[in-house]
Structure 1
Amino acid sequence: MKVLYIGGTGNISAASSRLAVKSGIDLYLLNRGTGSVKIKGATNIVADHSDKNAVAEAVKGQKWDVVVNWIAFTPEDVKRDFEIFKGHTRQYIFISSASAYQKPGGHPVITESTPLYNPYWQYSRDKIACEDYLTQRFRNDSFPITIVRPSLTYDTVIPVPLCGWKDFTIIERIRHGKEVIIHGDGTSLWTITHSEDFAKGFNGLLGHRQSIGHSFHITSDEIMTWNQIYEWVAEAAGAPLKAVHIPSDFIARFDEHSYGSLIGDKAQSVIFDNSKIKRFVPGFRAVIPFSEGIKRTIRWFEEEPGRIQIDPARGDLVDRIIGAYKQCFG
């Protein structure tokens, strides 16, 4: 099977790339070629994915069994792909986001039929617009789409809202006995998925003819509170947790980015029903618990000192939020 990944070396996609190669897929990676992650066994195509003419020239004359765009965020991105790959691929997979599901939710259990509606986060609305465009191309032009909606998925990032992701500040604060913020009272429910587990479900969709026209989310079945998540982060950091619980809307007053990512996503309780991906990919099961996966992530950061980035401005922001909250309510 001949597969093209646009992107393919990121936090979510690198594990899927490695598994694809291991599974015998003839994998091509199209990106700018400037990243540090290399996928052994994949063929690299260097082009700027935002330059339609450059991509068209780079893949000229090629036919694909599957094209996956890991880094499409706006309707312009997927429209460009449609114009390039229509008639040249048997399946096009768009990586959307589970944050596109209705916020606040109308039902506690999320399935693929849960409405797509997020008035809080532009990122999510853009993903919805991409899905809408591709659905029209499927209905009107028989463009063979499959839509995949990851939720919070990690491997080489620390999956917490403040001072995490590629920023190591959350670990530095915990290890130095500083307070960290947990949004709300910490009892809302959440699911975090390791990229290696995600890859097992995702790669089962590659070339899956019956998945054409369908959408899927692929997540762990492990349901945790944010209090538990932060306790496991602290355990992996090797120090006690000093948590301050602060309402999400209070946090968002100080941090504009948090308005969408908290109010429009992580502040909401989520329970994902993964029965659909399990029907299409029999045997899919997430097996890496967060308590173990986060230890692996921190070890990955510490293997190379250059990966550890501390952002003093983010730490200062946390201190300001905590100080303001205690002044108002302490």
Structure 2
Amino acid sequence: MRNVCVIGGSRYFGRHLVELARDAGAHVTVVNRGSAPAPHGVTHLVADRGDERRLRAALGSRTFDVVLDQVCYTPGQAAVARRVFAGRTGRYVMTSTVEVYDPATQAPPGAHAALPVTEDAYDPVGRPATGVPAGADEATVYAEGKRQAESVLLTDPVFPTAVVRTAHVLGGGRADFTGRLAHYTDRISAGEPVLVHRRAYPTTFIHHREIAEFLHWTAGAPFTGPVNACSHGTLTVTELADLVASRAGRPPRYTPVQEGATASPFSYDRHYPMDNGRAAGLGFAFGRVADWMPQAVDEALAAGTSAVRDGGAR
């Protein structure tokens, strides 16, 4: 893997990925809109990946051993990638999400409800890219965009393609721009209640450095198709909040929500874990959520304390 292109890669685990490839001796080209400087020692090309003309112009005649696409959110972006990188790369890796397994789109409804989902729980091949329904909420837009982007890349692929369905990524304190773990550390530290579903269901997680390592490993592996990426072990929302409370030294408070209402992040009304057996069988050694989550909580708590000290800016 001598020549690597990363689309995105400006923050959080995308930046770790760029640094891993660079430190492994690859020539790394980062393509993004220039909102943040690229790490030292890489080539930085500024282009909007959805603008085909400008993307082609920025790339010029460059070719790559592998392209790692961190920011493919729509079927339109995936279609541009198919056209621009056809004949230009030997391998393509798209970062997708556990959200593609949303049961609302699975058939038959309720399949795999009590077991961690394997990759065949959702097959994107041959599904039409119809766009996201008007008026859909943010979560639906994100999940459906990823599903349709997977379909564009994996249906009659023009280059060998792997799709990494990542679990919920945590760790890194302020580097975690999603604020999902901070939601719990801030509320519990302040003695505020956490909104949860009446029954706690498990879900899966992965550390921000572990997912960067997995993507880097995937870049050099030969397999294709979807693959789940998650640390071993699951947590329910109350198990996570109880852990936060124990580290913060404050008792947790829970407020149940009505059926169909929105709860806090990682509180689900159905089982939501993934099975990582395919990746483990291919040779990747995942860590355990129980081993890294306490430190991730401590980092989020420390970041919250620092934010208060700095005047409340997060």
2:223 pairs, out of 195, 202, 211, with 211
Partner of 2:257: 246
With normalisation by structure 1, the TM-score equals: 0.77
Kindly provide the amino acid, as one letter, of the partner of residue 165 in structure 1: G
Are 2:198 and 1:188 aligned?
Answer: no
Gaps of 5+ in 2: 104-108, 125-131
User: What's the CA shift string for 1:245-281, capped at 9, x where partnerless?
Assistant: 22451337xxxxx8xx87xx9433133221211222x
Inter-CA distance 301–68: structure 2 relative to 1 (3 Å threshold): farther
Inter-CA distance 26–57: structure 2 relative to 1 (3 Å threshold): same
Kindly provide the amino acid, as one letter, of the partner of residue 155 in structure 2: Q
- C-alpha displacement at 1:68, in angstroms? 1.5
1:250-329 equivalence runs, <5 A: 250-251=261-262, 266-280=268-282, 282-287=283-288, 288-300=291-303, 309=313
- C-alpha displacement at 1:58, in angstroms? 0.9
Q: Distance in 1 between matches of 2:201 and 2:311?
A: 31
2:160 pairs, out of 131, 144, 148, with 144
Q: Distance in 2 between matches of 1:111 and 1:166?
A: 25
- C-alpha displacement at 1:91, in angstroms? 0.6
| Maintained 8 Å contact 1:3/1:25 | yes
Kindly provide the amino acid, as one letter, of the partner of residue 9 in structure 1: S
| Maintained 8 Å contact 2:194/2:254 | yes
- C-alpha displacement at 1:136, in angstroms? 2.1
- C-alpha displacement at 1:194, in angstroms? 0.8
Partner of 1:115: 122
Are 2:128 and 1:131 aligned?
Answer: no
Partner of 2:270, secondary structure, is coil
- C-alpha displacement at 1:106, in angstroms? 1.0
Inter-CA distance 50–86: structure 2 relative to 1 (3 Å threshold): same
With normalisation by structure 2, the TM-score equals: 0.80
- C-alpha displacement at 1:167, in angstroms? 8.9
| Maintained 8 Å contact 1:157/1:165 | no
| Maintained 8 Å contact 2:164/2:227 | yes
**TM-align CA RMSD:** 3.3
- C-alpha displacement at 1:301, in angstroms? 5.8
Partner of 1:33: 34
Q: Distance in 2 between matches of 1:157 and 1:186?
A: 29
Inter-CA distance 18–302: structure 2 relative to 1 (3 Å threshold): farther
Q: Distance in 2 between matches of 1:137 and 1:123?
A: 23
1:179 pairs, out of 181, 190, 193, with 193
User: Between Structure 1 and Structure 2, how many residues are aligned?
Assistant: 291
Inter-CA distance 87–111: structure 2 relative to 1 (3 Å threshold): same
Gaps of 5+ in 1: 253-257, 311-330
Inter-CA distance 283–116: structure 2 relative to 1 (3 Å threshold): closer
Identity of aligned residues (%): 21
Partner of 2:144, secondary structure, is helix
Partner of 1:227, secondary structure, is helix
- C-alpha displacement at 1:195, in angstroms? 1.2
Partner of 2:240: 229
- C-alpha displacement at 1:110, in angstroms? 1.0
Q: Distance in 2 between matches of 1:79 and 1:136?
A: 11
Inter-CA distance 174–300: structure 2 relative to 1 (3 Å threshold): closer
